[in-house]
């Protein structure tokens, strides 16, 4: 292969990756919009915590991971699951409590796991997955398999002592783990500045972790920064902490509709109009002549069809048999 051919191949790979960023973010948004529709139509039991507005974090980070790398997720975890490779039809089936779901319908929205794609599970407990991710990193180091674990959590988890215990252990053992704090500004219904004292990054650097902060609405910046931290961890550099500044467009959960008592409509609209990760990335793709509006519209249309078919599959799928109620349950 000539140098010119290598450069052409690299350019094509980069172009494919740029469109994949868009496709992945759009897939998450369309998935979440249908989750909200299922809830409002009373087809989905329980609540869901939508990831709309935060898509660039999950995609930017997960695109920097290998298929066999690990992630752990949160109660707001659909985006992480999809970005790591989960199939929408099986995810919808899980949300609806169907046997075809990833956890046979027993996990629901906040406990989806897919070990086949390295997803060690979402967790309804705030900060509940930090130990799981750190344990996965410990096993990766002991087995010398080159894997990295990424632990997603919200800024609310900064109040959980378990986070500091595992960061301490990870630094002592130089584990290949990256802790990704998605700061969407609100710990349920309270601005994080009312619950979190001091500087967030210094909580990690106090243990000696390498720490970085990134605009969580910019998928390219997230990918570049996360890629550096992940490569560093994979090559023996030890644990790292990534603070991603982002924003959830919807309420804490799908039932949180009237939010003006803790944040204004003007604030929400400002983020949607000025800092939307998909809109801004679309503009960049077009400005760089990597895609035109027709191509992006085609991708969105294809994804919409895929999501609609996935919803139809989940609705039609059978529920687990009653006699299986005590199977695959660890409690």
Evaluate whether residue 325 is within a structural domain: no
Residue 116's domain is classified under what CATH number? 3.40.50.970
- 2: pLDDT strictly greater than 50: no
Residue 328 has what pLDDT?
Answer: 82
User: Quick one: tokens of 25?
Assistant: 């973010």
Evaluate whether residue 3 is within a structural domain: no
Coil, strand or helix at 4: helix
User: Quick one: tokens of 164?
Assistant: 């500091």
The Cα–Cα gap between 153 and 182 comes to 6
What is the domain extent for residue 201? 14-313
Residue 7 has what pLDDT?
Answer: 38
The Cα–Cα gap between 329 and 172 comes to 34
φ/ψ (deg, to 5) at 237: -75, -10
Evaluate whether residue 322 is within a structural domain: no
Confidence of residue 11 (pLDDT cuts 50, 70, 90): low
Evaluate whether residue 280 is within a structural domain: yes
85-90: list long-range contacts, CB under 8 Å, 24+ apart. 85/114, 85/117, 85/118, 85/119, 86/112, 86/114, 86/117, 86/119, 87/310, 88/27, 88/31, 88/306, 88/307, 88/310, 89/309, 89/310, 89/313, 89/314, 90/114
Give the pLDDT confidence of 308-322 residue by residue, as tens digits: 999 999 999 999 999
Coil, strand or helix at 72: strand
Residue 262: exposed, middle, or buried by beta-carbon count in 10 A (0-12, 13-18, 19+)?
middle
User: Quick one: tokens of 4?
Assistant: 């010119």
Total domains, the chain: 1
- 35: pLDDT strictly greater than 90: yes
Q: Share the mean pLDDT of the chain.
A: 94
Evaluate whether residue 263 is within a structural domain: yes
* Neighbouring residues of 317: CB distance < 8 A, sequence distance ≥ 6: 93, 96, 98, 99, 100
Evaluate whether residue 226 is within a structural domain: yes
* Owner of token pair 């500004």: 185
φ/ψ (deg, to 5) at 119: -85, 105
The Cα–Cα gap between 38 and 125 comes to 24
pTM exceeding the 0.85 threshold for the entire prediction? yes
Q: Report the pLDDT averaged over residues 35-62.
A: 95
Give the pLDDT confidence of 208-246 residue by residue, as tens digits: 999 999 999 999 999 999 999 999 999 999 999 999 999
Confidence of residue 14 (pLDDT cuts 50, 70, 90): confident
In this structure, are residues 246 and 216 in contact, taking their beta carbons and an 8 Å threshold? yes
Q: Report the pLDDT averaged over residues 104-124.
A: 94
Evaluate whether residue 21 is within a structural domain: yes
- 1: pLDDT strictly greater than 50: no
Evaluate whether residue 185 is within a structural domain: yes
């Amino acid at each position: 292969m000539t140098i010119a051919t290598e450069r052409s191949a690299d350019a094509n790979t980069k172009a494919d990756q740029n469109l994949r960023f868009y496709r992945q973010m759009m897939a998450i948004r369309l998935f979440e919009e249908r989750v909200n529709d299922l809830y409002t139509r009373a087809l989905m039991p329980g609540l869901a915590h939508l990831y709309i507005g935060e898509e660039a974090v999950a995609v930017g980070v997960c695109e920097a991971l290998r298929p066999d790398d690990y992630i752990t997720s949160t109660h707001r975890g659909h985006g992480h699951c999809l970005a790591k490779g989960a199939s929408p039809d099986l995810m919808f089936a899980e949300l609806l409590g169907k046997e075809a779901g990833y956890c046979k319908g027993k996990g629901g929205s906040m406990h989806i796991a897919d070990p086949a794609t390295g997803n060690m599970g979402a967790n309804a407990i705030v900060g509940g997955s930090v130990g799981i991710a750190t344990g996965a990193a410990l096993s990766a180091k002991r087995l010398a398999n080159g894997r990295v674990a990424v632990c997603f959590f919200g800024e609310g988890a900064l109040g959980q002592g378990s986070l500091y215990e595992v960061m301490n252990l990870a630094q002592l053992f130089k584990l290949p783990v990256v802790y990704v704090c998605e700061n969407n500004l609100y710990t349920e219904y309270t601005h994080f500045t009312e619950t979190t004292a001091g500087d967030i990054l210094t909580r990690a650097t106090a243990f000696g972790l390498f720490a970085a902060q990134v605009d969580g609405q910019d998928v390219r910046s997230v990918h570049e920064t996360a890629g550096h931290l992940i490569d560093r961890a994979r090559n023996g550099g030890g644990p790292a902490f990534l603070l991603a500044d982002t924003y959830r467009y919807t309420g804490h959960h799908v039932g949180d509709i009237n939010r003006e008592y803790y944040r204004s409509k003007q604030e929400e609209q400002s983020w949607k109009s000025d800092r939307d990760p998909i809109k801004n990335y679309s503009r960049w793709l077009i400005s760089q002549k990597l895609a035109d509006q027709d191509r992006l519209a085609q991708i969105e249309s294809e994804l919409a069809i895929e999501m609609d078919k996935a919803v139809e599959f989940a609705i039609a799928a059978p529920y687990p048999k009653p006699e299986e109620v005590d199977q695959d349950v660890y409690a």
